[in-house]
C-alpha cells in the first residue's frame, strides 16, 4: 500500500481543514515546498496536492505551487481542487501533475470527465468520490448530490476509471478513525479498482488495517501535521 501525504493549499500556504469547513482552517507551513521536501527526504514517493482555493472558486488557482513542487522534487503528484475545464486540466498537467483528481466535475459534467479518461488515459485520471450519508458531495463538500456512491462508482468503472480516492467526509480531519468498513464494502463490490483511502487516518495501526483490507493507497493529512504519525512511519 502506498502512503500518500497530503498538502492542502489556501493562499499558497499549507493548511488543514476539519470536515471541509473553511472556517476551521489551521495553517501548518507558509511554504508548501518545504513540506514536500521533508516528505521526499523521508523516502516518500507520492503526494496528494489539493487546491482548496480552486475547489471554492471552481477553477484552478494554486497551479504555481504545483509547478514549484514538481520542479524541485521527484514526488509523483496527484492534483485536485477546481479542475472543471479543459483549460484547468491542461494547466495541471503542464505544471507537473502526474495525475489529476476530479470530483465535482465527475458529477456535474460526466461527458467531459469521461472524455478526459479517454484523452489522457485511465492511469492519469483519478475519480474523487467524496461521500456523506452514502451520497456524493461536490463543490468543496458544500453541496450533497443525489448520486449514490456504489452506482456512481459502477458507472465510472464501466467508463474505464481505475483509480478512486474515496473520502468519508464525516471522518475527515477529526483524527477519530477512517472508514475501513466502507472501503471493504467497495472492494468487495469492485475488486479491480485501485482504491485510495482518505479522511480520518489517525494512527499507524489504522494504516495497517487499510493495508490488510487491500487498499491500494492511503492519504494521510492531519495525523502527520499534528504529530500522531511520525514522518519515518509514513513510508510505504
- Find the Cα–Cα–Cα–Cα dihedral 222, 68, 101, 52, rounded to 10°: 50
Rounded Cα distance, 161 and 156, in Å: 6
Residue among 8, 78, 168, 172 flagged as catalytic? 8
Residue among 78, 130, 168, 172 flagged as catalytic? 130
Strand ranges for the chain from DSSP E: 2-10, 13-18, 21-29, 46-51, 76-80, 99-102, 125-132, 135-138, 143-148, 163-168, 194-198, 217-220
The question of whether 53 is a catalytic residue gets the answer: no
Rounded Cα distance, 199 and 66, in Å: 22
The question of whether 130 is a catalytic residue gets the answer: yes
CA distances from 43 to 190, 202, 234 (A): 31, 20, 9
Please list the active-site residues: 8, 130
Amino acid at each position: 500500500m502506498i502512503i500518500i501525504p497530503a498538502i492542502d493549499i489556501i493562499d499558497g500556504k499549507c493548511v488543514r481543514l476539519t470536515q471541509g469547513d473553511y472556517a476551521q482552517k489551521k495553517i501548518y507551513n507558509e511554504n508548501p515546498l518545504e513540506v514536500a521536501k521533508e516528505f521526499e527526504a523521508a523516502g516518500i514517493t507520492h503526494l496528494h496536492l489539493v487546491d482548496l482555493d480552486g475547489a471554492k472558486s471552481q477553477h484552478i488557482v494554486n497551479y504555481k505551487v504545483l509547478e514549484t513542487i514538481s520542479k524541485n522534487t521527484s514526488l509523483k503528484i496527484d492534483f485536485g481542487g477546481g479542475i472543471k475545464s479543459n483549460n484547468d486540466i491542461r494547466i495541471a498537467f503542464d505544471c507537473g501533475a502526474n495525475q489529476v483528481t476530479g470530483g465535482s466535475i465527475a458529477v456535474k459534467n460526466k461527458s467531459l470527465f469521461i472524455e478526459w479518461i479517454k484523452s489522457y488515459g485511465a492511469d492519469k485520471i483519478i475519480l474523487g468520490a467524496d461521500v456523506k450519508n452514502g451520497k456524493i458531495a461536490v463543490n468543496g463538500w458544500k453541496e450533497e448530490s443525489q448520486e449514490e456512491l456504489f452506482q456512481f462508482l459502477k458507472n465510472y468503472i464501466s467508463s474505464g476509471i481505475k483509480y478512486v480516492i474515496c473520502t468519508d467526509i464525516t471522518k475527515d480531519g477529526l483524527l477519530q478513525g477512517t472508514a475501513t468498513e466502507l472501503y471493504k464494502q467497495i472492494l468487495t463490490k469492485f475488486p479491480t479498482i485501485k482504491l485510495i483511502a482518505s479522511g480520518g487516518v489517525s494512527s499507524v495501526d489504522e494504516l495497517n488495517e487499510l493495508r490488510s483490507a487491500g487498499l491500494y493507497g492511503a492519504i494521510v493529512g492531519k495525523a502527520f501535521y499534528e504529530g500522531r504519525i511520525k514522518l519515518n512511519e509514513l513510508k510505504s
